[in-house]
Amino acid sequence: MSEEIEKPNKTKNILVMFSGGLDSTTALYKLLKETNNNIYVHHIILKDTSNRWKSELDTSRDIVKYLKNIRPFDYSESTVEVQLNSEDPKGGSRHDDNSTVLFIANQICLVESYKRIDYIVISELECEQDKSTKDYATDMIDVMHKRKWSVKKPKIYDPLKEFNNNKCTIDKDIINKIKNYVLSNLITQETPIDLITNQLFINIICTKRKMYQYLPQGLQNKIVYCRTPNNNNKCNNCFNCLLYENIV
């Protein structure tokens, strides 16, 4: 999915889709700190059946304020209400965040064509993607670009590549606990079960640990991850709380 940035001497325009979570915060911090590209940051206030959007929005604004001390960048927000599939006891509309993020990213590239976006950063970890996920992102950009062919066609860029699959030690019991949680609480019939392997969770935890360690403490303390927060406090009960216990 990721393309190397060509001509590193030339300043590029990069759109970072930013959630306030570990992945997109690391991607944004790295781009601001290590490159001189023009950075456009966009946060989607994704109103689904949970009220997670409130803590994500507070966190995003807080992190953006912090990161603007590194260097200035453009920041915008949009609101999407997705109440689809709300009867699904195993997750509902949250299953398809990615298509929403890609759609809005494409809209920004097309509608705000003066930004001449070269690259879109969606902060999906390499280890979490199968071929169909990668094809989906590329196809979606192709289809939307064909509607407005005169506009520059962006590419997906992955600034998190270097953190991928770093080896670390994880207790086997913890991996089994995480895997069982996913299989019994998060996966609906439509999701291919064969993608849910022990190795997948080992890769995710090792990659995220490496990313977390890369961040300065001021950012580490701000990251949001809980799926069902209460007044910005984590629940200590959801999948992400279980996962991040072994990362932070």
Which of 113, 161, 235, 245 is close enough to bind Zn ion by CB under 5 A? 235
Give the integer Cα–Cα distance in Å for 20 and 17.
10
State how far the alpha carbon of 47 is from the alpha carbons of 56, 88, 228, 230, in Å: 11, 16, 13, 16
Choice between 27 and 243, CB closer to Zn ion: 243
Choice between 107 and 230, CB closer to Zn ion: 230
Q: Provide, rounded to whole angstroms, the least separation between the CB of residue 47 and Zn ion.
A: 19
**Interaxial angle between packed helices 22-34 and 198-214, expressed in degrees from 0 to 180 and rounded to the nearest 10:** 40
CB contact set of 36 (below 8 Å; sequence gap of 6+): 11
Give the integer Cα–Cα distance in Å for 79 and 43.
9
Choice between 170 and 241, CB closer to Zn ion: 241
Choice between 29 and 244, CB closer to Zn ion: 244
Choice between 80 and 241, CB closer to Zn ion: 241
Choice between 2 and 60, CB closer to Zn ion: 60
- Which range, of 97-105, 118-126, 127-135, 236-244, touches Zn ion by CB under 5 A? 236-244
Determine, following the binding rule CB under 5 A, whether residue 238 of this chain makes contact with Zn ion: yes
Q: Provide, rounded to whole angstroms, the least separation between the CB of residue 229 and Zn ion.
A: 7
> Which residues in the 212-231 window bind Zn ion by CB under 5 A?
226
- Which range, of 94-102, 125-133, 164-172, 233-241, touches Zn ion by CB under 5 A? 233-241
Determine, following the binding rule CB under 5 A, whether residue 243 of this chain makes contact with Zn ion: no
# of chain residues touching Zn ion (CB under 5 A):
5
Cβ-contact 179, 196 below 8 angstroms: yes
Which of 186, 187, 200, 241 is close enough to bind Zn ion by CB under 5 A? 241
Choice between 41 and 226, CB closer to Zn ion: 226
Interface mask toward Zn ion for 168-207; x: CB under 5 A: ----------------------------------------
Dmax of the chain from CA atoms? 54
Q: Which residue type, as a one-letter code, is found at position 75? A: Y
φ, ψ (nearest 5 deg) of residue 57: -70, -45
DSSP label of 224: -
HEC sequence for 14-81 = EEEECCCCHHHHHHHHHHHHHCCCEEEEEEEEEECCCCHHHHHHHHHHHHHHHHCCCCCCEEEEEEEE
Which residues of this protein are in contact with Zn ion, per CB under 5 A? Answer: 226, 234-235, 238, 241
